[in-house]
Structure 1
Amino acid sequence: MLFIRRLAIALSLVLFTIPAFAAQTTNPESAVSTVLLKTEHSWDGKLYKSYPAGQPQLTVLKIIIPAHTTLPWHLHPMPNAAYVLSGNLHVESRDGRHKTTLHAGDVLPEMVGSAHRGYTDNSPVELIVFYAGAKGMPTAIKVR
């Protein structure tokens, strides 16, 4: 009887510890968080003023720009940031004072209210862009 009781206790311990052990070994790595961008200003150095008034609305776009393409001059009415997945994106301000080139893995804090454009070279560019605006607000406005 004592043997059976000890065997039952031992089996119970094994049955309770195997799932816990298995849970630890199926995904032994922990989540890792890396800050890609934390800024108060856009890539041209201008401080962000405030977020738009109204019902907040987040928009996330995946944008693919073909090789040898120049986007039209445009501006953004809200803070936003672009993450380059692939390719090289050249961006310039319309006033000609600011130019930069982004590569895969780079993050760009976009200009707000200032005209700019991007263009590609021999390969397409793939971007993820995060916009922090208000309901009904366009993410970009073309400038003539």
Structure 2
Amino acid sequence: MWIVLIINLLVAIALAYFGLKERQEAFNWFTAGTVFIVFGLVLMIGAIPVLNDFDESSILMFTGGILVVIGIIALIIGFVTKATRIINLRDVAVAIEVAAVCLVYFIHNLNLNFQNLFVPELAAIIGLILFGISRRKIN
């Protein structure tokens, strides 16, 4: 499981580096809220395969729930302050990739089987695809 975690971590670091390297925009509450909600949803969906293990599932559900609530609050602040309502796809891709790494870390004590790794690896693949789409839109 540690090898899977290290590989996902290296991919997430590379995506974060290339995703944030060319960033020239200011902070946006709307994008921040979206990123928090996506990160929380990935953690909460990742708790489904490990529901039999109370420790792992409760940590994932609690952390994901807090992140979703913070994301909703950030979206409300974005609507109230009339922030630009544009979702930065690159930020969402990096958040999904980092959430996949966090998910693998949270469940690293469980068995290395397809059921436990399906959601994190699917999230990592979706993050890579979204990052590629966002890079294609820029170029």
Question: Which has the larger share of helix?
Answer: 2
Give the TM-score category using the shorter length: under 0.3
Question: Which has the larger share of strand?
Answer: 1
Larger-Rg structure = 1
